[in-house]
């Protein structure tokens, strides 16, 4: 007697050229959409600064241009960066400081005028929030404030804002040498001009 068993029919999946093209197209669209949705570091920095400027009542400075020379840098990276034989330009401060927000566009303008492609922004919050009577340890990589200041040529990190130019680990320009508690707007404009005029970038 014959068994009445049904045979299972197996369907083979065919990976055709057309299917491959379709999948590749979908992948490209997904990647492209993802890239568009990710805000770059430059865009984030621009948004952060211009938002802070807009929040200042009766703001007297110029709003930062989207096309600017700035890039944020950490304390640890800066202590290595300043050892370069090239000039390293740093604008030190915080977006909660009105003077910093007021003159950041002037720094950008003068940098571009003198062919400086990059000015690093170093946030002062960590250094200025440390209790110097304590051990001077901060949250960022267990850095010690006094050691950071020494690595940066002895700059005073309690003064905000500050504009520094470094070369070979030495401070060749420090705005603190020019500015005191009674400075006027014209003084900051003069200092910024001096920083980039004396230590310009290389011409293209």
pLDDT tens-digit map of 191-200: 999 999 999 9
DSSP H or E run through 70? strand 70-72
CATH of residue 188: 3.40.30.10
Q: Which of 191, 132, 139 is nearest to 158 (CA)?
A: 132
- Strands laid side by side in the 70-72 sheet: 70-72, 119-123, 88-93, 162-167, 170-174
The DSSP symbol for 74 reads: -
The span from the CA of 172 to the CA of 70, in Å, is: 20
9-67 confidence digits (pLDDT tens):
555 556 677 777 777 778 777 666 554 445 689 999 999 999 999 999 999 899 999 99
- Would the pTM of this model clear 0.75, i.e. be above it? yes
For 34-103, list the strands marked E by DSSP: 70-72, 88-93
179 within a domain of the structure (yes/no): yes
pLDDT of residue 79: 92
Q: Is residue 24 part of a domain?
A: no
* 10 falls within a domain: no
Round to whole Å and give the CA distance between 86 and 63: 29
Q: What is the mean pLDDT of the chain?
A: 84
The C-alpha atoms of residue 185 and residue 22 are separated, in whole angstroms, by 61
Residue 6 within any structural domain of the chain: no
Classify residue 191: in a domain, yes or no.
yes
Assigned domain for 67 exists: yes
Residue 174 is part of which domain span? 41-198
2 falls within a domain: no
Q: Is residue 3 part of a domain?
A: no
Q: How many separate domains does the chain show?
A: 1
């Amino acid at each position: 007697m014959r068994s009445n068993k049904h045979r299972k029919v197996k369907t083979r999946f065919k990976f055709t050229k057309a299917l491959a093209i379709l999948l590749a197209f979908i992948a490209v669209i997904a990647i492209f959409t993802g890239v568009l949705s990710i805000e770059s570091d430059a865009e984030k920095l621009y948004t952060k600064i211009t938002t802070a400027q807009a929040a200042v009542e009766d703001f007297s400075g110029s709003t930062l241009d989207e096309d600017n020379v700035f890039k944020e840098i950490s304390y640890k990276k800066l202590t290595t960066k300043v050892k370069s034989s090239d000039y390293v330009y740093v604008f030190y401060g915080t977006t909660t400081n009105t003077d910093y927000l007021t003159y950041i566009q002037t720094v950008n303008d003068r940098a571009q005028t003198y062919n400086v492609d990059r000015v690093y922004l170093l946030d002062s919050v960590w250094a200025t929030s440390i209790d110097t009577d304590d051990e001077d340890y901060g949250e960022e990589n267990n850095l010690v404030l006094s050691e950071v200041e020494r690595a940066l040529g002895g700059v005073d990190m309690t003064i905000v804002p500050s504009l520094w130019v470094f070369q070979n680990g030495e401070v060749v320009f420090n705005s603190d040498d020019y500015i005191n508690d009674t400075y006027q707007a014209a003084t900051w404009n003069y200092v910024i001009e001096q920083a980039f005029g004396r230590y310009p970038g290389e011409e293209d």
